[in-house]
Amino acid sequence: MTEQEILAGLGEIVEEIAGVPAVEVSPAKSFVDDLDIDSLAMVEIAVAAQDKFGVEIPDDQLKDLTTVQDVVNFVAKNTEGS
Amino acid sequence: MTQRETVVVTGLGATTPLGGDVASTWAGMLAGRSGVRRIEESWVDDLPVKIAAPAAADPVEVVGRVQARRMDRCEQLALVAAREAWASAGSPALDPERLGVAVTSGIGGIGSTLAAYDTLKEKGWSRISPFTVPMLMPNGSAGWISMEINARAGAHTWSARARPGPRRSATRWT
């Protein structure tokens, strides 16, 4: 899965859960500061991302995924070779 | 001796099997219409009863898709009716500390309860939505409505078995 595909999939998730247009979900954006996503919605996004990309995001690592690029990197790293 | 108290109704709101608001519901009643219909969805295939009276209007259309994701259907319906009632009363500007909400529910978000149990069995605890509890709790509707109209004096629910409303064995949720 390419980073672009992950970004597109993440954009769909964010739009579905938080109502933020997928086109605004760009790599440098912070979920909290730029996309106005609260912590509970962030947990929902993480749950949806785990289902969509087939990865496990441990609770203690979720707090470190603050930007869109962070999530893209995490998914890319944990789906390598799949 | 029974103590009698005066209650003043200042606004009406409804979303029912006859219509998505008071006017359409009232018009349907006057026309003698029934909200009961045959259910065609597959989930009734194994049930002996194939009729029901579902809400005429989809509350998601009114509440909005994003907010509706965080609400059980019973909460969505309650909020739709409460919004209409509040608007009908003129959306008065009141002291939030003197404004309270009392909304009953027979059981709360049963759909969310069952869905969460399915998720738990099929996908495990880590896939349970963080909104599961506020979606299933019987006082969820009162909570949503109190946030909507900024009522800070209290959000109360009385629930007694399958009959909403104050009863001798009622449980009060706050």
Give me the CATH code for the A3-78 domain, please. Answer: 1.10.1200.10
Is the predicted pLDDT of residue B32 greater than 90, yes or no? yes
Chain A: closest CA distance from residue B135 (Å):
13
Is the predicted pLDDT of residue B168 greater than 70, yes or no? no
Q: Is B130 on the interface with A (CB under 8 A)?
A: yes
Does ipTM surpass 0.90 in this model? no
Q: Is B129 on the interface with A (CB under 8 A)?
A: yes
Domains and CATH numbers, chain B: 10-57 (no CATH), 62-173 (3.40.47.10)
Q: What angle do CA B40, B45, B50 make, to 5 degrees?
A: 55
Average pLDDT over residues B102-108: 89
Task: Name which of B65, B126, B130 is nearest A44 (Cβ-Cβ).
Answer: B130
How far, in Å, CA of B157 to CA of B164, rounded?
9
Percent of all residues in chain B with a pLDDT value above 90, rounded to a whole number: 79
b/e sequence A12-51, b meaning 16+ C-beta within 10 Å: ebbbbbbebebeebeeebebeeebebeeebbbbbbbbbbe
What is chain B's length? 174
pLDDT of B34 reads 96
Average pLDDT over residues B51-59: 96
**Closest-approach residue (CA) in chain B for A42:** B130
3-state helix, strand, coil in chain A (%, to 5): 60, 0, 40
pLDDT of A40 reads 87
Average pLDDT over residues B72-99: 97
Bridge-based pairing of strands B37-38 and B100-102 is unpaired
Cβ–Cβ of A19/B129 closer than 8 Å?
A: no
Cβ–Cβ of A40/B69 closer than 8 Å?
A: no
pLDDT of B129 reads 87
Cβ–Cβ of B66/A17 closer than 8 Å?
A: yes
Mean pLDDT per 10-residue interval, chain A, length 82 residues: 94 94 95 92 91 90 92 91 60
How far, in Å, CA of A35 to CA of B103, rounded?
34
Provide the whole-model pTM. 0.84
Reported as a single tens digit per residue, the pLDDT across B68-79 is: 999 999 999 999
